[in-house]
Amino acid sequence: MSADSVTASTASTSPQKPDGLDEWRGVGAEHAGEISAKGSVFLKRRSRALLGSLLRPYKTYVWLLIAVVLVENAARLSIPWLVRRGIDLGVPPILAGGSAVVLYETVGLMLAAVIIQSLSRIFFLRQAGRVGQEVLLEIRRRLFKHFQKLDVQFHDRYTSGRVVSRLTNDIDAIMELLAGGFDGIITAVLTMVGVGVLLLVLDLKLGAVCLLCFPILLLLVRWFSRQSSITYRAVRENSALVIVQFVETMTGIRAVEAYRRERRNQEIFSDLSGRYQDANVKSFRLVAIFMPGIRMIGNITIGVVLLYGGYRVIEGNMTIGVLAAFLLYLRMFFEPMQEISQFYNTFQSASAALEKASGVLEEQPTVKQPENPVPLPNAKGDLHFDRVSFSYVDKRPVLPGLELTVPPGQTVALVGTTGAGKTTIAKLMARFYDPTEGRVTLDGVDLRDLAEDDLRRAVVMVTQENFMFDGSVADNIAFGRPDASREEIIAAATAVGAHQFITELPHGYDTDVGKRGDRLSAGQRQLVAFARAFLADPAVLILDEATSSLDVPSERLVQRALGTILSERTSVIIAHRLSTVEIADRVLVLEHGTIIEDGTPQELLTRENGRYAALHRAWADSLA
Amino acid sequence: MSADVSAPSSRTRHDGLAGPTAGPGTVGLTALDRPPMIAPAPPPRYGRNGQLKRRPSSSLWRMRRYLLPYRARFIAMIVFAAVGLAAGIVIPLVTKAVIDGPIAESDKTGLYALGLFALALGMVEATLMFFRRWVVAKATLGTETGIRTDLYAKLQRLPMAFHGRWQSGQLLSRMMNDLSTVRRFLGFGMLFITMNILQILVVTILLLNMYWPLGLVVLASIFPVSWLCLRNEREYTRLSRRVQDQTGDVASAVEEGAHGIRVIKAFGRGDHVFAKFDAGSVRLFQTSMERVKLTSKFWTFLEVIPSVTLIIVLGFGAVAAGQDRLTLGTLVAFITMMLSLVWPVAALGFLLSQAQEAMTAADRIAEIFDAENEITDGTSAIEAVRGRVRFEGAAFRFADAETDVLHDLNLDIAPGETVALVGATGSGKTAFTALVPRLYDVTAGRITIDGVDIRDLRLSQLRTIVATAFEDPTLFSMSARENLTLGRPDATDDEIAEAIDVAQAHFVYELPWGLNTRIGEQGMSLSGGQRQRLALARAVLARPAVLVLDDTLSALDIHTEALVEEALKRVLVGVTGIVVAHRASTVLLADRVAMLAGGTITHVGTHTELLDTVPEYRALLSAEFDPEDQLDEIEQTWLEEEAAR
């Protein structure tokens, strides 16, 4: 700390002060990887197409709604007009001691107007609401179905977080527009246009004076819309930073506390929430200018109307009724301005959401369903890789022309180095991917020619990612075959050795597994996943590192169960444990996508200079 | 030498956590250094039947101290609002005066004078509205930030046990949603409840005063409006809650569909999952439709009632005017004023439900402030740390569990000694390591460092002595440097480079912006092995007297692991080490091995001793043997041999 830097700033002299956002946050590539996300005032072609296809079933209905909304607004706008009629034409006859017919007539008309207004309003709100909700339901369904249809390759790239956000946040943005935005803007525009016309008709000169405020109003609205979209973005960005800091502190509280990170965190958080506050203050102050600004213009206009209108009444060029109508109309005129200013933001985010949704819906799965599927109701489990090549990235093949036949009922274990292509082989068998060249066949039928149902009944893959769905343990086992009876579920659990621990759970098979299976240990989840696969009873079972999360006692259980599970069906195991490999009929040693050793475990053990033999030696050595 | 006897400057930093004792040299006092400003909870009051009685507003009232720094602004807000309200009420009266006076009497000078006065009043009203909003922005948002900062500090002080019970999503919704509900009420709801009631009272009195029969009509119309608002608001809130819940259900179905996509595809259960999602979506649709129906009726009636009142007023008013009991100006003023009542009356229902929401939100926030901190700071300090760690009959169980995770732990680790901890998945290894830095407290027995019970030690010193590298390392969305220097913000570049060397984490230099690259969720994503190496470097950089490695090498490939192990051997000299190990090679880092089974230490000895005498130990290590890694190594050595030939 040098003496001349003291004046510079206290922040730079003290290491405990926040160093500023960029320094601790580091540098990162922002906003990468979204399928084009920018919304604009004009919807892009595909968003328009999506919106069009969503609204098509309601085509005639939309016209009806437009008619109704016009009627409603006409009825609403007629009321001040009728007030004028009452004052100007209804009162004088009474003053003159004459009949009150005109007045009664006016009151009757007003009642009629109110009734029409309320009926059409209820009709409009309800029906427009229904259309909006149905459109939302439809878009939810379409997106969900489409995400389910898209292949694993897509999901590898497009993270689950983004899928969730398409179906939640983005839908919310569209909903906001459908629920309030459109109704607000239609009413606002109709009111403004209607009032403007009526004012001119009521009294051309006074009306013209009133409409002078219009351009100023528009300028104010435009200024506000632009400024607020900037400040709202700042608010959103800053709130995101606050949220990230908060959530990461709470999820990483172990590291925070273990490393005494609290103080530095507090500084960073104070800095961030200070920025968030500043951004918010800015946006609040925009509103603090905008809303009173509208009020100011409105009040001045009313004042001018009073002055000029009063002058015209005194001159005898206008009636008091017209003046009263003007005052009522002007009130109506300024009310919807707020809606217009807010519509802009709603529309922006909704159109961005629509753009992203339409982008997703345009994605086509590379793993396609066959047009004319070959039926295969009872697969035997004869697997064949016919000169299969596969590459994730162009020109870098993971499998260069694999040739492999697995006869029905055989248990094959795959071992190999990192990146040897073991998991790729498994994924090709389960048709998570399609081969780049060659073909994978089951009982002689290309997997690409099998209907989804037949394929999934015949081939099931269990990975180490043992996803548990919301619901009970029984539900999760039944996922393998939803129509299974309770007895069948229990039988499956017993076969894989899961029955014991399940009965010890608080509610046995009906125990709720909790969010993503938090209540079950990794090993227990593994056993449930095995039971699930056993219940599905496929002709081909693929286990991809499926035993790696088991502890020793459960692994022994599974080891025993594996015998049951694997017998009488074709099975392929990618094992991380030698004990699992040893129960196989046949072992394949892979390197760079090619099979370099192939034989029974006993055969390979005796092979000189063999990898498998070397592996076994290393294992024995590690325990010496 | 251990970290706590370093230069005084760093000492204040490390020790400052505990409070304002750090001395005059400390800078940057934060909310951590003082208790939260929330007022203490009032003593509980019990009803006649012994039930706990709660005032619904009490939590909100406890937040009052956060308003104090902004009291001038809040007072200004009230003054501006009140004066603005008065101006707003006077304007129609002036309008009336214009119509009845100058216009009726064709008095142009009077018209100009009164008209200009009305104009001026209008401008004053708008200006006051501007001032009110301008002034209040900083006050309410400042209050919100004040509470938020204290809440964050409180949450950072709360121990792991608390965070294990609370999901971060729940905490987040308190910190963001509930807090803004409270803020909205403080800056808006509270003010307008008062102002609206005031306005309704004053205007009704004025209307009654102008022409009482019509005033009665207006008064009569207030009741159906407020009744309608209150009733519908309640119904609307109920439906909105249901919509919210069902939206949540749909969202979890969506999450399942997204996270479980591979399992769904493997079993071909797309239809099954869609059916579940669809059922939820349809339920949500139905509730939303109910809400649409409710609001369509509600909003319409809200508009209709004033219109009907207007018709009645006009009808009677015109008749009255015709009979000269009422001037036209009064009629116009009457109508204008009456219409100015529509919003305040309609908004009352909304405002009252906002008040209720704010009270619930304040309760939820206060709940966190009131959470007891079970891990309390000690007062002792160790002068010269040697690093002897002793477990003396220590046991641990989670607060809501019925059985101990760990029990009867007895282990004496000499200064500088390294002990490997071996045990099956779920045997409590991670809980064991969490006890040493007091992330959790033992529930029986005790743990001592250099003879001092760790519960008597200053937390800040304890956590300076002990550094842990976790198996699943938490990386924060910050620069790589910030992540590395988590435990020592003042580390020099040389020290950082050294730690990176030990952990073989040289890849950080190759990141796009080197050490300044943002990593974590919001930045560059790193592989499991890279994350572990960073976590290891982080622990090494903290230069602890006791280094705990919780399975830190599990995601490393065999080659890197060998390099890291080589470097660790050097680091562990003179440092007490607890190393959770899976592989024989990691076990070899240690002087002794402790085997965990059934929640306690069953065997202690050297690797060879245990291998010879304990079959379970042999089975454990055998199961951890990884063919893939081993084949990698075999290939590597064979390639090298070939190259040598």
What would the DSSP string read from start to end of A404-452? Answer: EEE-TT-EEEEEESTTSSHHHHHHHHTTSS--SEEEEEETTEEGGGS-H
Taking only the tens place, the pLDDT of each residue in B135-181 is: 999 999 999 999 999 999 999 989 888 887 777 777 888 888 889 88
Query: Nearest residue on chain A to B631, judged by CA atoms?
Result: A417
- Cβ B430 vs Cβ B374: under 8 Å: no
Closest listed residue to residue B487, CA positions, set B430, B548, B443, B446: B548
Selecting from A270, A416, A469 the residue whose C-beta is nearest the C-beta of B256 gives A469
Positive or negative, the Cα torsion across A277, A280, A284, A285? positive
Q: How far is A62 from chain B (nearest CA, A)?
A: 18
pLDDT at site B9 = 36
DSSP string, A12-44: HH-TTS---HHHHH-B---S-S-S-----SSPP
CB contact under 8 A, B521 and A248: yes
Q: What is the mean pLDDT of residues B300-310?
A: 79
CB contact under 8 A, B171 and A246: yes
CB contact under 8 A, B123 and A149: no
The CA distance from B51 to B56, in Å, is 15
CA dihedral defined by B351, B357, B360, B363, rounded to 10 degrees? Answer: -70
Q: What is the mean pLDDT of chain A?
A: 82
Least confident interval from A105-109, A209-213, B288-292, B299-303? B299-303
Q: How far is A469 from chain B (nearest CA, A)?
A: 7
pLDDT at site B523 = 75
Percent of chain A at pLDDT exceeding 70:
90
CB contact under 8 A, B518 and A28: yes
CB contact under 8 A, A269 and B300: no
Closest listed residue to residue B347, CA positions, set B567, B200, B513: B200
Closest listed residue to residue A535, CA positions, set A572, A583, A584, A496: A496
Closest listed residue to residue B172, CA positions, set A251, A172, A274, A272: A251
A93 contacts on B by Cβ (under 8 Å): 322
- Mapped to the 3 state alphabet, what secondary structure does A534-577 carry? HHHCCCEEEEECCCCCCCHHHHHHHHHHHHHHHCCCEEEEECCC
pLDDT at site A161 = 75
Residue B595, strand partner residues: B422, B603
- Mapped to the 3 state alphabet, what secondary structure does B611-623 carry? HHHCHHHHHHHHH
Taking only the tens place, the pLDDT of each residue in B364-416 is: 899 899 988 888 888 888 888 999 999 999 999 887 777 888 999 999 999 99
Closest listed residue to residue A404, CA positions, set A588, A559, A610: A588
Pull the structure tokens for residue B325.
């009991």
B424 contacts on A by Cβ (under 8 Å): 551-553
Torsion-angle region of residue B630: left (phi > 0), alpha (psi -120 to 50) or beta? alpha
Q: What is the mean pLDDT of residues A172-190?
A: 80
pLDDT at site B27 = 43
Closest listed residue to residue A360, CA positions, set A563, A143, A171: A143
Closest listed residue to residue A414, CA positions, set A583, A614, A581: A581
B591, pLDDT greater than 90: yes
B45, pLDDT greater than 60: yes
Q: How confident is the model at residue B47 (pLDDT cuts 50, 70, 90)?
A: low
Q: What is the mean pLDDT of residues B99-115?
A: 82
**Other CB atoms within 10 Å distance of the CB of residue A317:** 13
Pull the structure tokens for residue B395.
């046991």
Taking only the tens place, the pLDDT of each residue in A40-68 is: 445 577 888 888 898 889 888 888 988 99
The CA distance from A13 to A4, in Å, is 11
Pull the structure tokens for residue B77.
């807000």
pLDDT at site A447 = 92
Selecting from B141, B468, B584 the residue whose C-beta is nearest the C-beta of A258 gives B468
Distances (CA, A) of A192 to A213, A222, A364, A395: 12, 16, 46, 63
CB contact under 8 A, B315 and A107: yes
CA dihedral defined by B141, B142, B144, B150, rounded to 10 degrees? Answer: 160
pLDDT at site A181 = 67
Pull the structure tokens for residue B136.
């209040």
The CA distance from A323 to B95, in Å, is 11
Pull the structure tokens for residue B447.
């743990």
pLDDT at site A16 = 34
The CA distance from B250 to B247, in Å, is 5
pLDDT at site B172 = 84
A37, pLDDT greater than 80: no
Closest listed residue to residue B150, CA positions, set A249, A241, A269: A269
Across the A:B interface, residue pairs with CB atoms under 8 Å apart total 504
Closest listed residue to residue A152, CA positions, set A428, A401, A466, A460: A428
Pull the structure tokens for residue A582.
């040893």
Residue B432, strand partner residues: none
A117, pLDDT greater than 60: yes
Q: What is the mean pLDDT of residues A26-39?
A: 48
Taking only the tens place, the pLDDT of each residue in B57-100 is: 678 888 888 999 999 999 999 999 999 989 888 888 888 788 77
pLDDT at site A382 = 92
Taking only the tens place, the pLDDT of each residue in B417-460 is: 999 998 876 678 888 998 999 989 999 999 999 999 999 999 88
The CA distance from B126 to B120, in Å, is 10
Tell which wins on pLDDT, A125 or B53. Answer: A125
pLDDT at site B529 = 80
Positive or negative, the Cα torsion across A548, A549, A552, A556? negative
Distances (CA, A) of A280 to A233, A267, B136, B180, B534: 10, 20, 12, 12, 37
First to last CA, chain A: 59
pLDDT at site A5 = 35
B91 contacts on A by Cβ (under 8 Å): 299, 302
B297 contacts on A by Cβ (under 8 Å): 122
Which of the residue ranges A83-92, A237-246, A458-467, B279-288 has the most confident prediction, judged by mean pLDDT? B279-288
User: What pTM was computed for the model?
Assistant: 0.77
Q: Determine the residue type at A456.
A: R
B620 contacts on A by Cβ (under 8 Å): 552
ipTM of the complex: 0.82
Tell which wins on pLDDT, B320 or B28. Answer: B320
B523 contacts on A by Cβ (under 8 Å): 26, 28
Radius of gyration of chain B (CA): 36
Query: Nearest residue on chain B to A299, judged by CA atoms?
Result: B122
